[in-house]
Every structure is written in structure tokens, then in C-alpha cells.
Structure 1
């Protein structure tokens, strides 16, 4: 359907399918992009939030010191113009002199140093504190446009953290002493990004307007309205009737069916989230359990038809994986051992391990029930007696922490960070309950990749670690995820390889 016909039909009400009370028709006529998010938006300060929705919003309202190019994984200037390593634990960062906050106040080095020192402090209680505390000792103003960062030790992901996580606030924003206000930016956000907050009703609607004083490239669309619409069916109706232009996290069947009509365009792109089974190789739940035998774990890998799971249960750009990381992540070596789908090989390995008649396996899962059921079915087909326990995430987390789970289906999105460190650190650290391998040498190896700034050395370390994980079959990797969107036929919404939606890059056709 061409654009003119689309607008005419929508204006005439022909495309309205139900009365859902949209405040206005979305689209280019008023240069307003209306998007739907199921999660409640309650706090606009990404320094105090974590969810994907807040990452999307932060890219609209805030700017970081550096940008990470999703295509090349190279760092580009943003608020910072450049950097220089004085030594392995001292980093000098130079700043632009034309950055302003949304209230017109010029940004200075004092604001940058304050933001990092505040977030790195225990009293901030920021959601980003854990990220900064790993490496930051202090941030020191060295001139009106330069800041020196003193690191606690060598840490190769400093620039990545600066590009992804820490939003700059004016000096003194959160107060001090008895006057600390951690919610200072929760509603009345003053950022440095391409859009400024026009109005905000927590849990209902956020209106953003293009900030004319933005130092970077101005976005094409004047206004973005973010509406909280928890029900996907209501989102669908709004899209069809012209109440919204964009929705994400769309179930595959809905995305395909509605995308096949002239009312919406289905876009499917990569996502850094991967799915996997974690197996109790150490025997936390049973020191003599079947999973302590590497042949059993290898059999489980061979038993799983991951290509079909990726194609039919996830769809879009999802692909089967054989590594404990996403193939797009730095250091995710694809040359490690892969276990092809081979049920007969799986049965032979079980027989060799002394389990020709199978064994009982309690498999836990908390999401993507069809996937969990497919995994259980594949394992049952090779003789394993699976008891699928589908629970809420909180219950799974508690049971895992108590070492009561022999195997579970999990997923990890790495916070949108295209580096193996973002998945290896949390899953194979010796102190993490997600690490069910009990392999102290592996944990030390994984940690060593974060103790050098030499990228080639890091790559070699991850290659060795991932090869060992594959050979020992500590995991049964399943697939990468696909991000499914439904958008107005009038909207040009480019997709990036890291799967992070960047609404600021949208434009009208």
C-alpha cells in the first residue's frame, strides 16, 4: 500500500479496528513518533534503572562520553573528543566545549568527574555502581575540558562502560550529606541527549521533544511519545488504528501475521540474547549424579535439535549456536567443539556412560515455555526421564542460589554489550551461583581476560576458555534470539546488529 493511500484510509477511519482511545493519530502529519512499551516507565534516570526500555530511553535523553559503533564495535567520540592512556591504570579523557544540558547550562569537566565519582560511591546506591566500582578509583578534573580517571587496576572494558552505562549529570545533582536525593532526575530529567523531556506521567506517558541545542546530529523526528500499554493485544489494535507507530518484543506469530498485511511492517533483527542449558557438572545437587559425567553432558548436547528450535520457536534472524556466548561478541571463538544434532550419538554416549536406560533429570525453566518443552521432548527422545519445572524467575533464582537445580534453561542478553566478558564474567566466576561447573581453573582463566588491556591476549584467553567449556560440555548452547518489531508502513526504523533499538535514528519515509 502506498503512503498516500495509507494516510487517506487511516484518516477516514477505514483502518480503525476498535475504539481503544488513542489520543491522536501517530505519524508524519504532526512529526510525532508514538511508541508502545509494555513495561511501566517510572524513572527516567538510567543511572538508577536497568531494563531494556530504560536503555532505549536513555539513548534519547542522554549522551555518554563515547559512542560504540554497533557495526564495527569501534569507539567514537561523543561528549568526549578523545582519550589517552597515561599508563595501564590512568586514563585522560578530553571533552567537547559545546555540550549543554537541556536547561542550557554548559557541560564542564567538573560535571563529568562528579558523575563518575558519585556513581562509584557507595552512598549513591546507583544501579550503575557495580559497573564503575569494578575499575574506578577517582575521577579528577585536570582542565575545564579534561578529566583524568584513576583506575584501581588494569581493566580493558573502561571505554565500553563509558559508552554504555554512565549518564552525565550536573555537579551536585544528587545532593550531599543529609540532603541526598537519589530521585533528583527520576521525573524532571535534565540530560544532554538529542531529546529533552516535555512531559512525563509515570506509568502512563512520556513526551520527548527534539533538543535544538544538541551537540551531535539532530534526529529527523521532532517529537516522540512513549505510551505504556501493557497488553500486546491493545498495542496491536493501536498500531492498526493509527494510535502508535512502533512496538517491540512482539511475539513471532503476531509479528508475522500482522506484518503480512498492509497495516504494519514486520522487522526482524539480531539480538545479543542467547539461550542455553546450564548443567550441574560439579554435582552440587548430587555428587554421584549423571551430569558429573562429561559423556552425559555431551549426549545432552547431541540430543537437542537447536536449528529447528531457532527456526520454528524463535524465528526471524535467530540461529543455532554452539558457544557459551553470542557469535557477534568480541572473543566469541566459533572454532570450538560443536555437537551436531545426533540422537543416535546421544544414546551411544549415554550407553557408554552406563545410562543406557536413561536417568531422571529435573529441568528448570522460567521463560519461553515452548522452548523448554521442546528441550524436554528432545531429551526424553534419547531416554532421559525429564521432569520439567516451569517456575517464576524469582523461584528459579532462589533454588539456584541454594544449589537445588541440576539443570536449567536460561538466557542472557549481556546488557547489549558485544563482548564475551559480559556473559563469561557472570556465568563462570567462581563466586557466581550460575557457575555450576565447579571448575576453579576455568574461573581463574575467565577472570584473567579482564586483567589485561591487550585485546589480542584477551581474545586468546576467551578462545581457550570457550574451548574448554565446549569440550567439557558445561553448557548446552541453544540459539541466539531475534528481535521482532511491528512498525507503521510510514516509518523507516533501521536495525542494528547488536539488537538495541535506536529510536533516534528513525525517520519518515
Structure 2
């Protein structure tokens, strides 16, 4: 008899100097055999895999300590993990075949009921900066047919379900239940128990994560007996750690150091065009905003960012091509829209967003700000390459059209907490996705926690011209119709300047040539599962 589980879902310069200093030195002592030491830029905010849907958390937790039903490989191909197959029975019913013989790290068997437990927990994690709710929002019930078969009953058709099931990792109702586990219990390691190829060893916030190979893993054994992540936010210090042999592999190689490392035969570089794009998010929905002032520094009685003409002026002020060529030295591309170049269903054949400071000044005057105003913009420091430099370049561009702009760069965890609390007038961040509909539903659809819309919509942007076609696209099984609806929503967003896309990033890792070979990830994941020992 089937059982049902109902879900209630609610300094580069330092790096160059070190290169010169170490260039003639003898090769440093190699790491212990089968140990992979990674110098990573951005630490995870928690070991709770459902706490924060962000790249720096997911790359350590998903696919390594914990596993989802499916995962995406570095070619964007869906691979079976805890599920072996997925097929639709009708528009509202999908059948999942469960992998047998899988055990959690403590020996507890993985069972079909764990899926219901997990999907019910996902929307409930307290104090989360960004939940995984969009991935489970359409699942009304999980029906266990037999130990190897689960049926997912949906509230509405969901053509993205195969992608959604690559998101939330599976927890055990026996290990992590019956009540929802606290995030602190994952951070301590007590409940950092998954089914993945690596086991949790240690977590020191902002410093390091240590993993050990899982000897009872259901799949092929990983080649690394031990993995150590060292978090080094300063670009020059990260390069120095590579050069001195303290780490085998680093991510976010500073763009200025790429040519020199390419010439040094001791090192190999691994690069890929990413599905990551950087954007600015203006506070356009409030009558007043906390970080806009008149030229004397007094708060403004009305919010200029609420005027579309002002937002367009900001966009026109940014010379994206110069940023890509000069600041990023070819390791970025000028953005044309709110979707990565490789994203499915993006708007085709658009030119880069225009640069026209004269038109920008005219728009400011037309909007009632002929003399401009003052503004403070916020962004991360140590979240992606040259993020603080990019923020400064954007501030200078705004200042040139009459908006005197100051910058405050913050550690990522602080930035996103404050952004979630709506403390900013304009902030910078990035998003990664192979789908155009994903940034629309996560970032700009009107926020609705119950339906899972807008978990990253930290400025509470709301536009019916975006919402309605995006909502229809999310329930349209016909692909051509879904493509048209997605592009309609994307065009409405582009026209309204609800967000301001800036650049598309290219990702580069560097490692010791005789130690490691890395399969670069378009979604920025720095993970031991993508690394193999050099032959």
C-alpha cells in the first residue's frame, strides 16, 4: 500500500611580486600523498546544506558531503545521484526511482521517506539569506510507492522539475529528525552527515573546511584521502599560497597574474566561460532610500531610483566594454541582458548594453535631477575577481554623470545579511544559472515565500509585466511557448531597468601541474570532486 507524505511548503600586485620572488626558487615540498589542499576565495556561511543557496556553500556541501537526487556535471548534463531515473507519468505526477544500498556516513540507510522529510524542511530553515524553496514549491506530496519508487504529486505543471531536483540535498529523517535540525548542529559537525563521497572532519568559520574520503561510498571511490579548503580572500595571498606549495589549487586567479602563470611551466591553468553574470540591484520600490542624499549630504525626500529614467541613466553611465577589456583584461564580457550567454531561452542577438554618458545626463535632468545627487553603493569584497575594483569603477562612472558616488565594500556574509534587511540603495552581486528563467524567478519576481518566488529579491522589486509571463513560463510544458514567455519577461525587465546587468565572468583556476588536473566549472564550483591527481 502506498504511503503519502504531505508537504507544507511555504591585492593582485602582491601576487605578481610573489611570482617574481619565487620564480627561480626550487620546487617546494609536495603535499602528503592523496591530500588535496585548496586555496579558495569565499568561505561557506554554514555547513547546513539548506541554509543558504549560494555558490560558496553549495560547492563544498552539494555533491561532496551531501547529495541531491540528481546533479549537474561541468557540461550542464544532469547525472543521477540518489535517484537513478525520473519520468513524468502526467503533467502533475513524476516517478523517481531511488538508488538502493546507499547509506549515510553513520551507517543509517537512505530511504524513500527521507525525500519527503527533506522537501518539507527546505522552506522552514530560520534566518536563511536565500532558501531552496523554489526547487520544491510545486511539490504537494511525496508518495512512497515501494522502497525503490517515489511519486511526486505536483500542485501545477513544472517543466523545470528535472533541474529543480538537482538543488536540495537529501537529509535523513532518522539522523536529522524528527524535528528540524538547527544550523548550529551542522556547523559543529554533529549533524553534518550525508551520503556523499566525502565526510565532514572540521569547520572553522572563515578559515577552513576539512573533509575525508568516505570509505563506504556507494559510487566510485574519490582519489583524495583528505581534502583541505583554506579560505584566503586576498588575491595576492592566494597566489602566494600556491607559489610556496601551501596549496595545490586556487580559484579566482587574479586576472593580472594569468599571463605570468601561463608562462611558468610548473603551473597549469584551467579556464571556462562561466554562466555567472554580475549585476546591480537598485532600490526602486520605496519612496525614500537610505543611501541617497542631496549634494550637501542631506537625505532626499524622494527616492530618485524609483524613476526608471534615473535607472536607465545609471546603466548608460557604465562602459561595460572598457571594464571587460581593461579591468578584467579579457576575462569578462560586456553584458547584454539578465542571463548568461549559455543560458537556455535567453533573448537572441542583442548588442551589449549601450554606453552614453551624454544621454545619461539628459535623462537625469529630465527626471528632475539636473545637478545630480549623492549616493553610496555597496558590494562584496572577496566574492568574485576584482569585485571591489569593479565597484570603484562603477562609482567613478556614476560620478562622471553628476551622481557623486561613494563605495562601501563588505565581506559577503555581511553584505547579504544587510541586503536581505533592505539596508542598501544599490548593491552589486552575481547570479549563476544555465536557465534564463532562473534569475527571473529567484531575483526579480515579486517575493512570495509560500510560492518560492523571489528568494534573492532583496530590493522587493515588483513588476506585473515580468511576473505574469514568468509565472506562465514556470507552468508551461510546451518548450517553444515557454521560451516565448521567458523572453517576454526578460524583455520587460530589461526595459524597466529593474536590475542593471554589468558583465559576464570567465572563471580560472591554477594548480601545480604535477599534482592536480581540474575540470573547470561554469557555475564557479571549486570542488574536490572536479579534481584528479596529475599522472
Q: Shorter-chain-normalised TM-score: which range?
A: 0.7 to 0.9
Q: Is residue 530 of structure 2 the alignment partner of residue 471 of structure 1?
A: no
Query: What are the Cα deviations for residues 428-485 of structure 1, in whole angstroms up to 9, with x where unaligned?
Result: 2234664576533333333333233443333211211221222343443210123332
Q: Is residue 287 of structure 2 the alignment partner of residue 284 of structure 1?
A: yes
Tell me the residue number matched to 1:423.
439
Tell me the residue number matched to 1:492.
517
Q: Secondary structure at the match of 2:162?
A: helix
Tell me the residue number matched to 2:50.
47
- 8 Å contact from structure 1 (residues 338, 470) kept in 2: no
**Tell me, which stretches of 5 or more residues in structure 2 are unaligned?**
1-21, 289-299, 381-386, 448-453
- 8 Å contact from structure 1 (residues 314, 482) kept in 2: no
97-106 vs 324-333, greater mean Cα deviation: 97-106
Q: Secondary structure at the match of 2:26?
A: coil
Flag the 1:348–1:123 CA change in 2: closer, same or farther, 3 A.
closer
| 2:68 aligned residue (33, 55, 64) | 64
Alignment of 1:102-251 (within 5 A): 102-119=105-122, 130-131=133-134, 134-166=137-169, 168-176=170-178, 186=187, 187=189, 189-197=192-200, 199-200=201-202, 202-203=204-205, 206-228=209-231, 234-251=237-254
Task: Give the Cα separation in 1 of the matches to 2:105 and 2:178.
Answer: 23
Query: What are the Cα deviations for residues 270-313 of structure 1, in whole angstroms up to 9, with x where unaligned?
Result: 34332233446667337977656655544443332101112332
Tell me the residue number matched to 1:313.
327
Tell me the residue number matched to 1:93.
96
Q: Is residue 31 of structure 2 the alignment partner of residue 26 of structure 1?
A: yes
Tell me the residue number matched to 1:3.
none
**Tell me, which stretches of 5 or more residues in structure 1 are unaligned?**
1-9, 17-23
Aligned residue pairs, count: 480
- 8 Å contact from structure 1 (residues 279, 436) kept in 2: no
Flag the 1:263–1:380 CA change in 2: closer, same or farther, 3 A.
same
Task: Give the Cα separation in 2 of the matches to 1:287 and 1:452.
Answer: 43
Task: Give the Cα separation in 2 of the matches to 1:307 and 1:211.
Answer: 46
Query: What are the Cα deviations for residues 152-196 of structure 1, in whole angstroms up to 9, with x where unaligned?
Result: 333343322321222x2334112325x966666552544322233
Q: Secondary structure at the match of 1:172?
A: helix
Task: Give the Cα separation in 1 of the matches to 2:27 and 2:489.
Answer: 55
Q: Secondary structure at the match of 1:55?
A: helix
Task: Give the Cα separation in 2 of the matches to 1:283 and 1:205.
Answer: 40
CA RMSD, aligned part only? 3.9
How far off its partner does 1:319 sit?
A: 0.8
Task: Give the Cα separation in 2 of the matches to 1:356 and 1:117.
Answer: 50
Query: What are the Cα deviations for residues 330-378 of structure 1, in whole angstroms up to 9, with x where unaligned?
Result: 3322345754334455456667x37795522525122333223322333
- TM-score, structure 2 normalization: 0.75
Tell me the residue number matched to 1:371.
390
Task: Give the Cα separation in 1 of the matches to 2:208 and 2:423.
Answer: 42
Q: Is residue 425 of structure 2 the alignment partner of residue 412 of structure 1?
A: no
- 8 Å contact from structure 1 (residues 327, 334) kept in 2: no
- 8 Å contact from structure 1 (residues 429, 435) kept in 2: no
Q: Secondary structure at the match of 1:60?
A: coil
Alignment of 1:315-464 (within 5 A): 315=329, 317-336=331-350, 338-346=352-360, 353=366, 357-367=370-380, 368-381=387-400, 383-390=401-408, 392=410, 405=425, 408-414=426-432, 417-431=433-447, 434=458, 439-464=463-488
Tell me the residue number matched to 2:26.
14
- 8 Å contact from structure 1 (residues 284, 436) kept in 2: no
Q: Secondary structure at the match of 1:425?
A: helix
